[in-house]
Amino acid sequence: MKEKYLISGMSCAVCAGHVEKSVRNLKPVKAVSVNLVKNEMNVEYDGSQIASCDIIKAVENAGYGAAVSGGGASEQYVDEAMKKRLILSVIFLIPLLYVSMGHMAGLPLPHFLRGINNSLFFAGLQLFFALCISFVNRNYFHKGFKSLLKGFPTMDTLIAIGASASLIYGIYAIIHIWHCLLIGDLELVNAFQTDLYFESAGTILTFITAGKYLESRSKRKTNDAVLKLMELAPKTAFVEIDGVEQKRDLKDVKEGDIIIVKAGSFVPADGIITEGAASIDESAMTGESIARDKSLNDAVSAGTLSRDGYFKMKALKVGDDTLLAKIIQLAQEAGSGKTGMSRLADKVSAFFVPVIITVSAITAILWLISGASAEFALSCAISVLVISCPCALGLATPIAIMAAAGKAAENQILFKNSQVLETLNKATVLILDKTGTLTQSKPSVTALYPCKPATQEELLLTAASSESFSSHPLAEAIMRKARQMNINLKKASDFKILNGGISAIVDGKTVLAGNKKFIESRAIEINLPADFAKQSFEDGDIAVYFALDGTFLGIIFIADIIKESGVAAVKKMQDYGLKTVLLTGDNSATAKSIAAKAGIETVISQVLPDEKEKIVADFQSKGEKVIMAGDGINDAPALIRADVGIALGAGTDIAMESADIVLAKNDLNDIATAYKLSKATIKNIKQNLFWAFFYNIIGIPLAAGVLYPFFAIKLNPMFAAAAMSLSSLFVVTNSLRLRFFKG
């Protein structure tokens, strides 16, 4: 079984790795994935051997909190708790800084805190405020030392050691002040009074809590697009039962139910209109700002808004089966996997904290050996501990992935996992299926060539009337053209399907329709000029010949039209440097014509369904990274074989399940948008990783006092804490720039 848990207490990639390892050590657990950004964990396990409580216990033993999703604290609650901690910390920090440093700025102190004789009051009050801040932020000490004892030190361990060192040194100084007052050594009293370090402990804890709070608030913004989508799903629906309108919870609505949708209401399910009409705002699903009129037998989707009108609909897909639900699910799961860069960052983070603790200890020892004071050595060691930032390193990848997934969901581009973004970024070839992907999969009339003196309208009137009984796609194309030209059909009778064509009686005359061979077999002379329809023949369009009472009437050409977005999408991908290939089972002439219109460079035609996968593999064997876009059952093997499989939202369920990306809007331009987003995301991750590594490479030596012998530059632990918090905040803020991405 699969279950989702909310995890509390994680602060860095090391924490996430610790939680993941603790749960994975449970033998019945088959798979576990921790999402640091969302503080969530997905676990797949054998429910017959362990229960949720066992998994929760494993997490708690690791030093963190866990609850089954839905039964634990929400992100909002966690934010509020952290906000309260921050406010209390600031309340105690202000008087601590005033007492410890105010006199340096010329601010007055109460008389009982001034002078050598009041040193114990001066130091004791600072200790009180520092202990209050430490108590408010006691979770750092609890988790930090617990993970250290278990052999898995985390970012909290660095904070706990740094703050504890400052507190212990301050308490050590108070003991010396008391002792020196007893023996009358006022010079030493003054020395210890000016170097208590309680303000460092308080400032470190407060700055880090402030950074964590801002980081948490910023991380929540990565889910804004998903949250907006979730708000589109209504909680209730009006269902017609035995002719009576009843209000039901959405979870109780079933497939086949007749749902009533009123003006101003969101559509609660996917289905078709059975009665009435309305103007439907589909902007959330398609991006189209103009509402579309819907009436009998038109499809409607969950999450769209009925602007006006009233209609009844038959529910075909409800609950988690709706397109809206799938968009939300895929967007939420997009950040659960790990990219190659993320795994690299996790490996570095795993040994980062122990290395930093070692570097801090060596720093203190080297300064003591060099003759520096204990206070100076301790200051450098604490600075090393608090400036180090595995948080930024651990957040560099997942926060960018989540921001990208949210932006993709906003554009109805659904990534199945985070690895797709990294793979898509490396693509070199785009292979497009023809029918239903590049073309509309809906034959349309492209040309009408009547035999004079007949006109185009007369040819179409006779053709459409004779085809009115046929359900063939070519007949449907002729009927649509007649409706577009507002032609009123004549009544047809005696409709027959023959070998190669059809016959019917229209207005008392016999109409024959079919291919050239069919018409010629009836001894009917086709007397069009040789070059009359030459271009249509060269384009590979299908020619349907018509005769009326033994006399040739004309030709209607029909073809599958390229989607409006097809040409623009191909051009964009070529501009990005990708090779484009048309892969189809259609004949060579039609394939070449479609490819020429779309601007596609390479054409592979007359391919059997099982050969598509082999062709994709051939490209890969030449070192190409392949994107395959398709929509049919026959495309599924090729979509799976491709480095990145892209399915169109209007395609088959099998194609969508086989693909890595689903384009819910059915717009080929979204292929280019997805590719551009992957480029932007990987660039963003590289920026984050560069900053995280560069920050530590520069910050740690600076904190250790490397520049002090040459330039007398030394980093105060308080500034080190502020820099650490700003480092994480920088990574999060940089990732949030993806929210402003435009395709």
Structural domain contains residue 283: yes
pLDDT score for 288 = 56
Judge contact between 93 and 134, C-beta under 8 A: no
Give dist(CA 596, CA 342) in Å, integer.
Answer: 42
Residues with Cβ < 8 Å from 349, sequence gap 6 or more? 12, 13, 14, 17, 390, 393, 394
Does residue 401 fall inside a structural domain? no
Residue type, 320: D
Does the pLDDT of residue 473 top 80, yes or no?
no
Residue 162: inside a domain: yes
Tell me: do 90 and 154 sit in the same domain. yes
Query: Cβ distance 9 to 143 under 8 Å?
Result: yes
Task: Label residues 127-138 b or e (16+ Cβ within 10 Å = b).
Answer: bebbbbbbebbe
Same domain, 622 and 635: yes
Q: Which range, 349-353, 365-369, 408-412, 434-438, has the best average confidence (pLDDT)?
A: 365-369
Q: Can you say whether the dihedral through the CA atoms of 88, 89, 94, 100 is positive or negative?
A: positive
Count of domains forming the chain: 5
Verify that 69 and 100 share a domain, yes or no: no
**Which range of residues forms the domain containing residue 632?**
415-439+563-670
Examine the pLDDT at 167 and tell me if it is beyond 80. yes
**Residue 199 shares a structural domain with residue 92:** yes
Residues 6+ apart with CB under 8 A from 174: 120, 123, 124, 127, 192, 196
What integer pLDDT is reported at residue 71 of this predicted model?
Answer: 43
Same-domain pairing of 261 and 190 = no
Please write the tens of the pLDDT for every residue from 532-587: 656 666 666 778 999 999 999 999 988 888 887 888 999 999 999 999 999 987 77
Q: Known catalytic residue: 433?
A: yes
Q: Would you say residue 353 lies in a domain?
A: no
- Kindly indicate the confidence band of residue 148, based on its pLDDT and cuts at 50, 70 and 90: confident
Confidence grade of residue 72 (pLDDT, cut at 50, 70, 90): very low
pLDDT higher than 50, residue 171: yes
Structure tokens at 711: 């330039």
Cβ atoms 403, 687 nearer than 8 A: no
At residue 405, does pLDDT exceed 70? yes
Indicate if the pLDDT at residue 345 is higher than 60. no
pLDDT band at 466 (very low <50, low <70, confident <90, very high): very high
Q: What is the model's pLDDT at position 73?
A: 44
Residue 593 lies in a domain: yes
Catalytic residue among 433, 541, 586, 660: 433
Choose one of 55, 73, 91: the last residue of a domain.
73
**Final residue of a structural domain among 167, 202, 221:** 221
What is the predicted pLDDT for the residue at 344?
Answer: 60
Shared domain check, 85 and 69:
no
The answer to whether residue 627 is domain-embedded is yes
CATH of the domain at 260: 2.70.150.10
pLDDT score for 150: 79
Shortest CA distance to 684 belongs to which of 728, 743, 733? 733
Same domain flag for 213 and 90:
yes
Residue 33 lies in a domain: yes
Which of the residue ranges 61-70, 213-222, 619-628 would you say has the lowest mean pLDDT? 213-222
Q: If you average pLDDT over residues 642-665, what whole number do you get?
A: 76
- H helix intervals, 195-339: 198-220, 224-232, 283-286, 323-333
Give the pairing type, strands 626-630 and 429-433: parallel
Q: Are residues 97 and 116 in the same domain?
A: yes
Instruction: Specify whether 186 is located in the same domain as 287.
Output: no
We report the CATH number of the domain holding residue 644 as 3.40.50.1000
Residue 496: CATH number of its domain:
3.40.1110.10
Q: Which range in 369-378, 411-420, 432-441, 466-475 is most confidently predicted, on average pLDDT?
A: 369-378
Q: Both 451 and 545 in a single domain?
A: yes
Q: How confident is the model at residue 694 (pLDDT cuts 50, 70, 90)?
A: confident
Q: Which of 535, 559, 583 is the last residue of a domain?
A: 559
Strand ranges across the sheet with 65-68: 29-35, 40-45, 2-8, 65-68
Note whether 27 and 105 are same-domain residues.
no
Structural domain includes residue 691:
no
Residues 359-400 pLDDT 10s: 989 999 999 999 988 878 888 888 888 787 666 666 677 778
Peptide bond into 108 cis (omega under 30): no
Are 173 and 308 in a shared domain?
no
How high is the pLDDT of residue 188?
Answer: 75
